[in-house]
Amino acid sequence: MINGYGNFELHKSFLEAMVDYDAVCRKYDLKYCIHGGTALGAIRHKGFIPWDDDVDIVMLRKDYDKFIKIAPKEFGNKYTVQTYKTEKKMLTNVMKIRINNCKFLNDDGTDNNKAFLDIFPMSDVPNSKVGQSIQNKLVIFLNNVVYAKIGYIELQSIASKVVFGTLSKLPRRFLGDIIECVIKYFPHFRSKYVDIVATANYLECTGYAMDLWPKSFFEETELTEFCGKKFRITKHWNEYLTQMYGDYMTPPEESKRQNKHGMKAEEH
C-alpha cells in the first residue's frame, strides 16, 4: 500500500474491515463484488487507488438482505452495521459498515461517523425502459423528500417547500420503508437487470443512470488480488470498468488525484 497521498493508515483499516466482511460472506455463502473505484484499484493498482478514501462493494438484493440480519451478531462491537433503520440521519437506503476502532471520521452528520465500507444493494429492476424510467422517477422523488429532511438539498420554490417540506416531516424510517417497497416490489418479471436504485439522484451522478447492469455481471464472479488478499469481482470486469471509466488503465492527471469523501483523522 502506498502512503504518498496520506491514506496509508486509512487503507490499513479498510483492508482489515474488507477481510472481516469477506469472512462473513464466505461463512454464509453470500455473493458480493468490489465495485467502482475499489474494483478499478484492484485491476489497475492490485489494491487501493492511492488517493482513494472509500470502499465500494455491491451485493445482489437477496444476499444483501441476509447480510443485514447476520452481520451485527458476527461483527460484535468491532463494526456497526448502519442503515436507515438504525440511523435517522442516513442520506440513502444504503448500508454502511462503520469501523469502530478506526481513527478516521467522515463528517456526514450521522451519530456514528467513523470511516466505513459502503455496501450497495443491487436490486432487480424492470426489463423495459418505460418501467425503469417510472421506478427511477419514483425513487428520485422519495429520495428528494429524504434529502430535504436531512438538509442535503435546499428547497427554493414555493411548490418544493409545500410538497417536499411537508412530506419531509415524516419519520426517516417510514420514508426508508416506502423507498424499499418501491425498489423491491416495483413490478419486474424475470428481470435481466439490476441497479443500485437506492442512490438515485445522489451526487447527481450515481444510482439508476450509472449503475444499470446485466444481472449476470454480479452472479458470475471470480477472485482478484487486492493488497495481497483475494476479494470477489465480476468476471466481466473489463466490460464493467470500460463502461464506468473508459480507458481505465490510464490514471487521471495529477491535479485530479484527490481524496473525495473528506475522511479526516480524529482529533484528540
| Cβ–Cβ < 8 Å for 193, 182 | no
Q: What is the pLDDT of residue 197?
A: 92
Q: Which residues of the chain have pLDDT under 70?
A: 1-4, 204-207, 261-262, 267-268
Integer CA distances (angstroms), 249 to 17, 80, 180, 222, 236, in order: 26, 34, 36, 20, 16
Q: What is the pLDDT of residue 131?
A: 95
Does the domain spanning 8-123+214-257 belong to CATH 3.30.460?
Answer: yes
Residues comprising the chain, all counted: 268
pTM of the model: 0.93
Q: What is the pLDDT of residue 97?
A: 97
Following DSSP, what letter does each residue of 126-147 receive, concatenated? Answer: -SSHHHHHHHHHHHHHHHHHHH
What residues contact 3, with CB distance under 8 A and at least 6 apart?
A: none
Q: What is the pLDDT of residue 263?
A: 74
Helices and strands: H and E segment counts in the chain: 8, 11
Domains of the chain, residue spans: 8-123+214-257, 129-204
* Grid coordinates given for 179: 423507498
In angstroms, the CA 209 to CA 201 distance is: 9
Q: What is the pLDDT of residue 207?
A: 67
Q: What is the pLDDT of residue 4?
A: 64
For the four alpha carbons of 169, 136, 39 and 253, in that order, the dihedral sign comes to: negative
